[in-house]
Amino acid sequence: MAGNPDKRVVEIYDTTLRDGTQAAGFVLSVDDKLKVAQRLDHLGVHYIEGGWPGSNPRDKQFFARAGELRLKTAKLVAFGSTHHANRRPENDQNLADLLGAGTDVVTMVGKTWDRHVTIQLGVPLERNLAMIADSVAYLSRHHIQVFFDAEHFFDGLKHNREYTLACLKAAAEGGAKCLVLCDTNGGSLPGQVAEATRLVRQTLPGLAVGVHTHNDAELAVANSLAAVEAGASQVQGTINGVGERCGNANLCSIVAALELKMGLRALPEGRLPLLTDTARFVLELANQQPRPFAPYVGRAAFGHKGGLHISAVEKDPALYEHVSPEAVGNDRRYLISDLAGKAAILRKARDMGLDLADNDPALGRMLEELKAQENKGYVYEAAEASFELLINRVLGREKTYFQLMDFRVHTHKEANNILGCKAPGPVSEATVMVLVDGRVRHTAAVGNGPVNALDRAMRKALLGFYPQLAEMQLVDYKVRVLSSADGTAARVRVLIESSDGRSRWGTVGVSFDVLEASWQALSESIQYKLQQDETS
Ligand SMILES: CC(=O)SCCNC(=O)CCNC(=O)[C@H](O)C(C)(C)COP(=O)(O)OP(=O)(O)OC[C@H]1O[C@@H](n2cnc3c(N)ncnc32)[C@H](O)[C@@H]1OP(=O)(O)O
Ligand SMILES: CC(=O)C(=O)O
């Protein structure tokens, strides 16, 4: 790897494709796995654990197709367990499948907690030691580099220290090249992990030590970093921390901490800014919701909302950011709300291209209007387009593209199966009357529900004047009841997101009537689009 040769290198071992797929709801096809492997290689991890070839046809196919990858940085690894207690290495199908995977590196998991040997394997402790040594030796004889995943290492050490260390020695005697200490149940604490890592380094000097932690006590990242501080040279984990139960150690946080806080080298020079894109790519491929609050790579990780924070970050980002968003490929965002102050408004206005002085009196009026609107239930955090329109209103720069004269919406549903007749589902119809340039347009449309009907009737009315509205789509629509104690008389907030294929924007409406709230958000969305097209 390029870069400063003096920096200590920590090997990054990614198991998203194996332990990651042990997470609830995280499923990847063979094609998905190949795509993720490609991205991981591009990010620059050292090892990619592709799966357990002895487990299922999908993982076997992945290794069969791995040649398509042409990896530039990473080495592909196959994963499996020690041979079955009733067999020998030569006639164990799992070991045969590991050889069949054709990788230069194999990670072999073996029991190192006596309780597991007795209860789960149901064999004498000595037999497990032989299974470990013989399995590792068998693969090593086939010129495979073997990493030994010492399952339940930290729990084993607590209960029967001699035996757990004997398991590591058996792996070392078999020829293992790295002893990976696993916090399989995820319950260890950083101090315990550090102490145990030091113990292994003293007991088996000269052998590389790795760490593989789970997040059941929310400590997987801290435990991994503690092991590195105590001398571990390999960290296993997954992108976004997906994995069995509460997940694995999150490599996104680990890689960033190693590089930005510990002065160590985890990725090739210049690759750290690929982190955010990689994290989002993996979630998207697995059809998972992104976690906004994920450290380093989440959308909120560098999103500032408090007025005092925004004011300070404008002067010096380090005042409220522990690292710079650019370092990990993320963006800084300012969220507009009733917690904002003048600095936040000024920043937003300048982003809109407005030339306002720091002490412009309009800033106070904008802030007052913002706080009054939020008090009525409007939120501008996810409705930045509505906030831009608010700024324009306060400055008297608002342009009227159309005026509503009237809208009516009705939904019609007939009873089903009366006298054997099958009635159609509910049908919604909207009529809209708008005034544009002194001309009245009166249109009607049916829709998939009343809001859709209203949206369609409105566009139909306006398209003749503004053909560019044809490229605009409503991409998200959310309704929230604001005062549930009032039952059906409660006020509602509608947030909509629109897109024209080039950009996305959010608008908001609030009313006791869901259609009126929807109208406000829809009309602001159209207003914003027309204004943007005119000024760009
Ligand atoms: C800590 C970890 O995350 S390790 C990885 C865990 N991942 C997975 O389990 C996913 C992939 N697993 C699988 O596809 C299947 O479980 C297989 C193919 C590995 C095994 O399937 P099966 O043979 O049907 O067994 P099953 O799933 O019930 O597992 C229990 C068997 O594995 C044996 N076993 C468990 N751990 C080990 C080990 N480290 N070494 C040898 N044998 C082991 C048990 O003794 C038991 O054998 P028995 O059925 O003869 O009593
Ligand atoms: C090997 C592994 O996945 C574990 O011990 O958690």
> Which residues fall within 8 angstroms of residue 366, CB to CB, at 6 or more apart?
345, 349, 390, 391, 394
Q: Indicate whether 367 and 419 sit together in one domain.
A: no
Domain count, the chain: 3
Beta bridge partners of 406: 433
| Residue 165, SS3 per DSSP | helix
CA dist list (Å): 511 to 377, 388, 485, 490, 527: 9, 20, 16, 9, 19
Following CA atoms 183, 189, 194, 199 in sequence, which dihedral angle do they give, to the nearest 10 degrees? -60
Atom of ligand 1 nearest to the CA of 109: 39
Q: Indicate whether 361 and 420 sit together in one domain.
A: no
Q: Which residues of 293-322 are buried (b: 16+ CB within 10 A; e: fewer)?
A: ebbbbbbebbbbbbbebbbbbbeebeeebe
Range of the domain at 142: 11-268
Residue 226 alpha carbon to ligand 1 centre in Å: 30
Q: Quote the CA–CA distance of 471 and 529 in Å, as a whole number.
A: 10
Which of 21, 120, 244 to mutate for ligand 1's pocket (most ligand atoms within 8 Å of CB)?
A: 120
Q: Indicate whether 41 and 76 sit together in one domain.
A: yes
Q: Are 200 and 181 in contact (CB under 8 A)?
A: yes
Helix, strand, coil tally for the chain in percent (to 5): 45, 20, 35
Q: Indicate whether 94 and 240 sit together in one domain.
A: yes
Burial class for 202, CB neighbours closer than 10 Å (0-12, 13-18, 19+): exposed
Lining ligand 2 with CB less than 6 A are 19, 109, 149, 151, 182, 184, 212, 214
Answer yes or no: is 163 within a domain. yes
Q: Quote the CA–CA distance of 492 and 378 in Å, as a whole number.
A: 10
For residue 485, the model assigns a pLDDT of 64
Nearest alpha-carbon partner for 528 in 340, 391, 394: 391
Residue with CA closest to ligand 2 atom 3: 19
Q: Quote the CA–CA distance of 267 and 40 in Å, as a whole number.
A: 11
Q: Quote the CA–CA distance of 138 and 81 in Å, as a whole number.
A: 13
Last residue of some domain: 394, 420, 442? 394
Q: Quote the CA–CA distance of 409 and 371 in Å, as a whole number.
A: 32
Last residue of some domain: 215, 247, 268? 268
For residue 55, the model assigns a pLDDT of 96
Answer yes or no: is 152 within a domain. yes
For residue 488, the model assigns a pLDDT of 62
For residue 490, the model assigns a pLDDT of 78
How many Cα atoms occupy the beta-carbon half-sphere of 494 within 13 Å?
Answer: 23
> Which residues fall within 8 angstroms of residue 443, CB to CB, at 6 or more apart?
431, 432, 457, 460, 461
Q: Quote the CA–CA distance of 317 and 297 in Å, as a whole number.
A: 17
Residue 187 alpha carbon to ligand 2 centre in Å: 13
Ligand nearest to the CA of 127: 1
Answer yes or no: is 455 within a domain. yes
Q: Quote the CA–CA distance of 454 and 165 in Å, as a whole number.
A: 71
Answer yes or no: is 3 within a domain. no
Q: Quote the CA–CA distance of 108 and 128 in Å, as a whole number.
A: 13
382 in the Ramachandran plot: left (φ > 0), alpha (ψ -120 to 50) or beta? alpha
Neighbours of 70 (CB within 10 A): 8
Ligand nearest to the CA of 131: 1
Q: Indicate whether 324 and 441 sit together in one domain.
A: no
Residue with CA closest to ligand 1 atom 17: 55
Q: Indicate whether 40 and 185 sit together in one domain.
A: yes
Q: Indicate whether 385 and 498 sit together in one domain.
A: no
Ranges of residues in the chain whose predicted pLDDT is under 50: 1-2
Ligand nearest to the CA of 214: 2
Residue 182 alpha carbon to ligand 2 centre in Å: 6
Answer yes or no: is 295 within a domain. no
Residue with CA closest to ligand 1 atom 20: 55
Residue with CA closest to ligand 1 atom 15: 55
Atom of ligand 1 nearest to the CA of 56: 14
Which of 151, 185, 235 to mutate for ligand 2's pocket (most ligand atoms within 8 Å of CB)?
A: 151
Residue 431 alpha carbon to ligand 1 centre in Å: 64
Q: Indicate whether 88 and 231 sit together in one domain.
A: yes
Atom of ligand 1 nearest to the CA of 54: 18
Whole-number CA gyration radius for the chain: 30
Q: Any idea what the CATH number is for the domain that residue 456 is in? A: 3.30.160.270
Please report where in the chains the tokens 């409406």 appear, as a residue. Answer: 509
Last residue of some domain: 341, 362, 394? 394
Q: Indicate whether 49 and 67 sit together in one domain.
A: yes
Does the ipTM surpass 0.95? yes
Q: Indicate whether 421 and 353 sit together in one domain.
A: no
Q: Quote the CA–CA distance of 216 and 247 in Å, as a whole number.
A: 7
For residue 317, the model assigns a pLDDT of 98
| Residue 449, SS3 per DSSP | coil
Q: Are 326 and 296 in contact (CB under 8 A)?
A: no
Which of 52, 149, 246 to mutate for ligand 1's pocket (most ligand atoms within 8 Å of CB)?
A: 52
For residue 1, the model assigns a pLDDT of 46
Structure tokens at 283: 């979630």
18 lines ligand 1 (CB under 6 A): no
Structure tokens at 483: 């005062």
Provide the strand spans (E) within 7-53: 11-14, 47-51
Q: Where are the alpha helices (DSSP H) in 330-449?
A: 342-351, 361-375, 384-394
Answer yes or no: is 445 within a domain. yes
Answer yes or no: is 279 within a domain. no
- Report if pTM > 0.80: yes
Q: Indicate whether 223 and 310 sit together in one domain.
A: no
Which of 214, 238, 245 to mutate for ligand 2's pocket (most ligand atoms within 8 Å of CB)?
A: 214
Answer yes or no: is 514 within a domain. yes
Structure tokens at 536: 């760009």
Q: Are 190 and 211 in contact (CB under 8 A)?
A: no
Residue 55 alpha carbon to ligand 1 centre in Å: 9
